[in-house]
Amino acid sequence: MKILALETSCDETSAAIVEEGRKVIANIISSQADFHAKYGGVIPEMAARQHLETINFVISEALDQAQYGLDDIDAFAATLGPGLVGALLVGANAAKTLSFMTQKPFLGVNHLYAHVASNYLESDLEPPFLCLLISGGHTQILHVKHYNQIEILGTTLDDAIGEAYDKVARILGLPYPGGPALDKLAQSGNPKAFALPQARTDNPYDFSYSGLKTAVLRLYEKQMASKDPSEDFKTDLAASFQHAATEVLVKKAMAAAKSLGLNQIAIAGGVAANSAVRMKIQHAVHSENGWRFFIPESIYCTDNGAMVAASAYFNPLTTDLAMEVFSRGEQVGNPLNS
């Protein structure tokens, strides 16, 4: 089963072809980051127009790279939600048109399922496992019971971790997208230079990042009041933020896995590309006997078509369900397979 899938939920236009949900034949990504950097963030209307300009190009590139024609494809897929509405419609319309032309099925995909499914690419991971979903919009601990049955154990009460990274990067004067730039800066600083707060939450698996972000802002403002912050000050503040932001993620994910008796941990979402998260999760899992960890290649962590194809294969959804946002305590089932 070869699926051609499109991802246009935010600022990456991507088309990919994946076989049996795991083998990536082509994965073409055109990022709009440079375009939106001028404005310091994604402008939804502009994102939709950019997708419209680029979508045919990424589809042809994916087919060329795979050396396939449309006849070789068994089904077409696209992200239906959550995401920027105008942007989503570009990918959904393109995939539905291809499905109509070729009389092959159209499969709708939920963006969050797709991030989880990035762990199936080029791997042998099978549920059950614990997944830490960390992106620009989400920070969740998920119990993936079956391919199509996911329980949300904890979530952020305010900012998502990627959002906190982007906001702190802006405070430090780093260019958009802030997360990767902050990660790079943090690697040469002292993570213990500043003691930053770690929020307590009633539910042990929930997160809160707004206090941490505000603590960074206060320290920065205090420094500004006496003199311009030095490069060393910024680097150490970045490293201390990275330390505080990632320590809590790994601690809570490990605690959740232990309490459920799971010995497989996966990470997903744009922030799964973060160097500290990757190192800490590997380290934590290595110290447990017989545990396995799954970390998608960085290119499959940020938005991409390959993860959409994997999700279309393992958990195709009805349109309504594909548009739903995960919320805590909920079981997300799949009416197509149950």
Q: Would you tell me which residues interact with Zn ion (CB under 5 A)?
A: 135, 303
Q: What track of x and - describes contact with ligand KG4 for positions 302 through 331 (by CB under 6 A)?
A: xx----------------------------
Token pair of 47 as six digits: 């994102």
Interface mask (CB under 6 A) for ligand KG4, residues 105-144, using x and -?
Answer: ------------------------------xxx-------
Q: Shortest approach of ligand KG4 to residue 181 CB, angstroms?
A: 8
Residue with Cβ nearer Zn ion (135 or 240):
135
Stretch that binds ligand KG4, among 20-28, 53-61, 249-257, 264-272 (CB under 6 A): 264-272
State which residue, 137 or 296, has the beta carbon closest to ligand KG4. 137
110, interface contact from ligand KG4, Zn ion, none, CB < 5-8 Å by kind: none
Contact pattern from residue 32 through residue 71 relative to ligand KG4, giving x for each residue in contact according to CB under 6 A and a dash for the rest: ----------------------------------------
Rounded Cα distance, 210 and 198, in Å = 10
Residue corresponding to tokens 């073409």: 28
Interaction of residue 269 with ligand KG4, rule CB under 6 A: yes
Specify the residue, 263 or 275, whose C-beta has the smaller distance to ligand KG4: 275
- The site string for ligand KG4 over 167-206 (x = CB under 6 A, - otherwise) reads ----------xxxx--x-----------------------
